[in-house]
Amino acid sequence: MRSVSIIGVGCTKFGERWDVSLRDMIAEAGVMAIEDAEIAGEQIDALYVGNMSGGRFIE
């Protein structure tokens, strides 16, 4: 087993954002995480995304 690390995080702003899709918010947070980690996208081996109740609030 090899060691893993969380080296960057991203979080979208909270609040009503009806003009932004869930996919766009995931991309927004992903870009923030890559910038936070100060790495290139090619250096990422895996990506794990989580959200709370995303499907419950989308029609």
Owning domain of residue 26? 1-59
CB 58 within 8 A of CB 22: yes
Which pLDDT score, from 0 to 100, does residue 35 have? 96
Q: Record the tokens describing residue 48, joined without a space.
A: 């794990």
Cα(11)–Cα(26) distance, rounded to whole angstroms? 9
Cα(57)–Cα(59) distance, rounded to whole angstroms? 7
The model's pLDDT over 3-55, given as tens digits with 9 standing for 90+, comes to: 888 899 999 998 888 899 888 998 999 999 999 999 998 998 887 777 776 66
Which pLDDT score, from 0 to 100, does residue 40 have? 92
Number of domains the chain contains: 1
Q: Is the dihedral of CA 16, 18, 21, 24 positive or negative?
A: negative
pTM: 0.72
Which pLDDT score, from 0 to 100, does residue 20 have? 92
